[in-house]
Structure 1
Amino acid sequence: MAFSDYIIYVDESGDHSLTAIDPNYPVFVLAFCIFHKRYYSETVVSALQKFKFKHFGHDIVVLHERDIRKEKGDFNIFRSVTERHAFMDELTTLIDESNFILIACVIDKPAFKTRGEVAVDNPYHYALRYGLEQLAGFIDEKGQSDRDTHVIVECRGKKEDRDLELEFRRICDGANGLNRELPFVVEFASKQVNSSGLQLSDLVARPIGLRVLRPEQQNRAFDILTRKFYCEGGRQHVGEGYEGVGLKRLPD
Structure 2
Amino acid sequence: MAFSDFIVFADESGTPVLDNPDPTFPVFVLNCVLIAKDAYARQLVPSLQTLKFETVGHDQLILHERDIRRQQNDFAFLQRGAEVRATFLERINTLVETSDVTVAAAVIHKVRLAQKYAHPWSPYEIGLQFCLETLLDRLVALGQTGRLVHVLFEARGRREAESLNCSFAASRAIRRIGAIGNPTSRNCSGSRSSWTSGPIPPGCSSRT
TM-score by length of 1: 0.68
- Equivalent-residue separation in structure 2 for 1:179 and 1:62 (angstroms): 34
**1:94 partnered with 2:95:** yes
- Equivalent-residue separation in structure 2 for 1:27 and 1:188 (angstroms): 28
Unaligned 5+ runs, structure 1: 194-252
Change (3 A) 1:192 1:146: closer
Helix, strand or coil: the match of 1:76?
helix
- Equivalent-residue separation in structure 2 for 1:88 and 1:25 (angstroms): 24
- Equivalent-residue separation in structure 2 for 1:88 and 1:118 (angstroms): 42
**1:44 partnered with 2:52:** no
- Equivalent-residue separation in structure 2 for 1:187 and 1:97 (angstroms): 31
Helix, strand or coil: the match of 2:108?
strand
The C-alpha deviation readout for 1:181-237, integer Å capped at 9, x for no partner, is 4468665566756xxxxxxxxxxxxxxxxxxxxxxxxxxxxxxxxxxxxxxxxxxxx
- Equivalent-residue separation in structure 2 for 1:83 and 1:34 (angstroms): 31
What's the offset of the Cα at 1:123? 0.7
- Equivalent-residue separation in structure 2 for 1:68 and 1:189 (angstroms): 27
- Contact 1:148–1:185 (CA under 8 A) maintained in structure 2: no
**1:180 partnered with 2:181:** no
- Equivalent-residue separation in structure 1 for 2:87 and 2:113 (angstroms): 38
Residue in structure 1 matched with residue 15 of structure 2 by the alignment: 15
Matches within 5 A, 1:10-89: 10-78=10-78, 79-89=80-90
Q: Which amino acid aligns with 1:38?
A: D
Change (3 A) 1:94 1:187: farther
Bigger share in strand: 2
Helix, strand or coil: the match of 1:137?
helix
Identity rate, percent: 35
Residue in structure 1 matched with residue 158 of structure 2 by the alignment: 158
Change (3 A) 1:26 1:9: same
Matches within 5 A, 1:104-183: 104-116=105-117, 119-120=120-121, 122-171=122-171, 175-176=172-173, 180-182=176-178
What's the offset of the Cα at 1:179? 7.1
- Contact 1:16–1:28 (CA under 8 A) maintained in structure 2: yes
What's the offset of the Cα at 1:42? 0.4
The C-alpha deviation readout for 1:128-158, integer Å capped at 9, x for no partner, is 1111111111111112121110000011111
The C-alpha deviation readout for 1:22-43, integer Å capped at 9, x for no partner, is 2222211111110101111000
Helix, strand or coil: the match of 1:156?
coil
Helix, strand or coil: the match of 2:120?
coil
- Equivalent-residue separation in structure 2 for 1:58 and 1:190 (angstroms): 24
Q: Which amino acid aligns with 2:64?
A: H
- Equivalent-residue separation in structure 2 for 1:190 and 1:61 (angstroms): 20
What's the offset of the Cα at 1:76? 0.8
Helix, strand or coil: the match of 1:77?
helix
- Equivalent-residue separation in structure 1 for 2:21 and 2:3 (angstroms): 40
Change (3 A) 1:96 1:181: closer
